[in-house]
Amino acid sequence: MRNETQRSRARALGMVLASVLALACEGGGPTAPGEIPLLCPGCDPNAGGETTDFGMSFTECGALSAPVAVSEAEAVELGFDVASLQARMERPIDAELSWEADPYPSLSTGGKPASGYEDPTQVQAQVQVTRLAYHRPDPAHCVDGQCTLPDGDGTLIEQASCATFLMLHYDMQLSTLDGAVEASGEGEAAQWSEGFEDMVGNAAGELHGHAYIDLSDARGTLELDPDTDATYTGTLTVQLDFEDDMTHGYVTPTIRYTVIDENGDEEGKSYMPVQGTF
């Protein structure tokens, strides 16, 4: 069992990635009798997005990083124990989940308290690995072990100094027994190559997954009210920490919108009224 410091660091990383890489929900129609309601029927659609380098885009190596699809056999040749990683990710999740109101008061602005959930409850989830990709410095920008940044100033970067990792893409289904959330979507988890511990720290030995699901595609009794006249978009972020003996995680609905301040400038707002932890 990891210590609280590791869990806090993983939680913070998940929230940073959620802010940068969030997907938004699209609007939905009225709920038919007996149908599970949408979590965000008032959300506007969003073009969407996807992760590319698992949080490294703000480093030189991250800007160089590019994925290449690999088979399981090829990933094994690169030094990854795919069978073990897949077994950890695909074991069924059935755990107690605790809901926490207003988990990020410094980040969440406005809105009404969430309702429509019971605390504690049980969460059940299933992950299935669908494909693999190896992320390494793009060979198109590297010659004889030296790389240059795309659109850069020509500064040379040693290819061997950039960490590489295996990205495991997966499909996921998740529901809570209180009926608050029922969702499915795609996620990805990164396993760093060995030898880069000085660069990525303890993350080299950890396996974290993230899924960003349109709230318009999620259903449940959880009631969210950002209390704004502005148009807004939403995301259900599901962070999964695949440990050796069990899987921990966080379920976080977030609604985002923009308002015009007193100076006529746009100001981004986030509404995160509740988070589930298991």
34-47 exposure pattern, b = at least 16 Cβ within 10 A, e = fewer: eeebbbbbbbbebe
Q: Which span out of 23-37, 162-176, 188-202 was modeled with the highest average pLDDT?
A: 162-176
pLDDT value of residue 19: 40
The DSSP call for residue 30 is P
Distance in angstroms (rounded) separating the CA atoms of residues 21 and 235: 10
pLDDT value of residue 262: 84
Mean pLDDT of the chain: 83
Phi-psi region of 64 (alpha: psi -120 to 50; beta: other; left: phi over 0): alpha
- Residue in this structure with the two tokens 């390494």, named with its chain if needed: 136
Give percent above pLDDT 70 in the chain.
79
pLDDT value of residue 263: 86
- Residue in this structure with the two tokens 């989830």, named with its chain if needed: 125
pLDDT in tens, 219-274: 999 999 999 999 999 999 999 999 989 999 999 999 999 988 888 889 899 999 99
Phi-psi region of 63 (alpha: psi -120 to 50; beta: other; left: phi over 0): alpha
Q: Which span out of 18-22, 78-82, 154-158 was modeled with the highest average pLDDT?
A: 78-82
The DSSP call for residue 219 is B
User: pTM of the predicted model, to two decimals?
Assistant: 0.79
